[in-house]
């Protein structure tokens, strides 16, 4: 038996609660992992509250991330005692996830935990940090170097945004951080932001083209924010889109793309190929300042995960939230 958060949907409604689960109830998989840490992302907030149809199979253990050690394995790449990390692959949505003490998954979904990170640090990074690095790798592949100009990061106090600011600063980029939380300006500057911009500037319909301001972008918000960022991106600039906190719509024109040659790159962290995942984690081990990571990280126990997910959606947390599943 093991402790887990369980989401159920039946005639009594949609609800999330703590439960004791039997290992026999775990879904099919060739690797069983003893989880040490998981995390609360925006997606966990949506899943636990039911505010968006994230969960597509019931009952479901939420949690798109976890880090721990292999307990049992019939997968050729893993043996008991191996340290591993998982991000995405539908875990926590269609396959029981990380907000539990034990998980059973397809070994192809796992990545060896880089020796530079503890399990707690790996979850302080989580899908948020891994996604931020995928954005930066995309900017680099498209030739956006620090000498080309600043990078704008929307949703900068969130998990993806905070880590993106820290990484870009470490790599030598000037970083303009967009936030609706003016009180967090000093926090963002401590991560390396060189300019703080009010989200209100981006949240309403704007011109098809605006003054050229940035060489690239990491957008976690979507909707009008993404449209306005594209409109103000420099000639041949690159915008990476990885989130929809502000909405799934994209109320823009083609003007930035056909008149300035702007490239819009979609970032898919869920089904990203294993080779790119390994590259992202290797780069995180090299380029992420562990001290900055710690300053943006809060920790809760598994029993606090449900309330924390609700609070995260309400904007009561900044940066990253790790979950000690054994507390």
- Measured distance CA(132)–CA(166) in Å, rounded: 10
Are 256 and 137 within one domain? yes
Is residue 51 in a domain? yes
Are 55 and 153 within one domain? no
Kindly report the CATH number assigned to the domain that includes residue 145.
3.40.50.720
Kindly report the CATH number assigned to the domain that includes residue 33.
3.90.180.10
Residue 318 is predicted with a pLDDT of 85
Are 57 and 30 within one domain? yes
Residue 81's region, left for phi above 0, alpha for psi from -120 to 50, else beta, is: left
- Measured distance CA(44)–CA(66) in Å, rounded: 13
Is residue 90 in a domain? yes
Is residue 133 in a domain? yes
Are 19 and 108 within one domain? yes
Point out the domain boundary residue: 266, 284, 316.
Answer: 266
Are 135 and 262 within one domain? yes
Is residue 121 in a domain? no
Residue 76 is predicted with a pLDDT of 97
Are 254 and 304 within one domain? no
| Structural domain containing residue 140 | 126-266
Point out the domain boundary residue: 249, 266, 283.
Answer: 266
Are 186 and 247 within one domain? yes
Are 261 and 301 within one domain? no
Residue 159 is predicted with a pLDDT of 92
Q: For tokens 């989880």, what's the residue?
A: 35
- Per the structure, the count of domains in the chain is 2
Are 130 and 262 within one domain? yes
Per-residue pLDDT of the chain (327 residues; tens, 9 = 90+): 999 999 999 998 999 999 999 999 999 999 999 999 999 998 999 999 999 889 999 999 999 999 999 999 999 999 999 999 999 999 999 999 999 999 999 999 999 999 999 999 999 999 999 999 999 999 999 999 999 999 999 999 999 999 999 999 999 999 999 999 999 999 999 999 999 999 999 999 999 999 999 999 999 999 999 999 999 999 999 999 999 989 999 999 999 999 999 999 999 999 999 999 999 999 999 999 999 999 999 999 999 999 999 999 888 888 899 999 998
Residue 52 is predicted with a pLDDT of 85
> Given the DSSP bridges, would you call strands 83-87 and 233-241 parallel, antiparallel or unpaired?
unpaired
Is residue 153 in a domain? yes
């Amino acid at each position: 038996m093991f402790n887990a958060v369980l989401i159920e949907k039946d005639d009594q409604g949609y609800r999330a609660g703590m439960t004791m689960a039997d290992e026999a109830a775990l879904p099919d998989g060739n690797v069983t992992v003893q989880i040490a840490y998981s995390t609360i992302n925006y997606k966990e907030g949506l899943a636990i509250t039911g505010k968006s149809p994230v969960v597509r199979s019931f009952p479901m253990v939420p949690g798109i991330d976890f880090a721990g050690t292999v307990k049992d394995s019939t997968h050729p790449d893993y043996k008991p005692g191996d340290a591993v990390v998982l991000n995405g692959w539908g875990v926590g949505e269609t396959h029981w996830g990380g907000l539990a003490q034990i998980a059973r998954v397809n070994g192809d979904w796992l990545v060896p935990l880089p020796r530079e990170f503890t399990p707690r640090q790996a979850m302080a990074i989580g899908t948020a940090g891994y996604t931020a690095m995928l954005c930066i790798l995309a900017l680099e592949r498209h030739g956006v170097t620090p000498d080309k100009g600043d990078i704008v990061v929307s949703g900068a106090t969130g998990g993806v945004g905070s880590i993106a600011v820290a990484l870009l600063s470490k790599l030598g980029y000037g970083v303009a951080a967009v936030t609706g939380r003016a009180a967090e300006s000093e926090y963002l500057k401590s991560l390396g932001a060189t300019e703080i911009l009010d989200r209100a500037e981006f949240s309403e319909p704007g011109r098809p083209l605006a003054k050229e301001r940035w060489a690239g972008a990491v957008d976690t918000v979507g909707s009008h924010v993404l449209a306005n960022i594209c409109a103000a991106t420099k000639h041949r600039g690159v915008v990476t889109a990885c989130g929809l906190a502000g909405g799934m719509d994209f109320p823009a024109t083609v003007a930035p793309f056909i008149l300035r040659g702007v490239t819009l790159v979609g970032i898919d962290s869920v089904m990203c190929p294993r080779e790119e995942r390994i590259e992202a984690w290797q780069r995180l081990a090299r380029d992420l300042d562990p001290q900055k990571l710690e300053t943006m990280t809060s920790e809760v126990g598994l029993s606090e995960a449900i309330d924390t997910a609700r609070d995260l959606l309400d904007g009561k947390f900044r940066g990253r939230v790790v979950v000690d599943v054994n507390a």
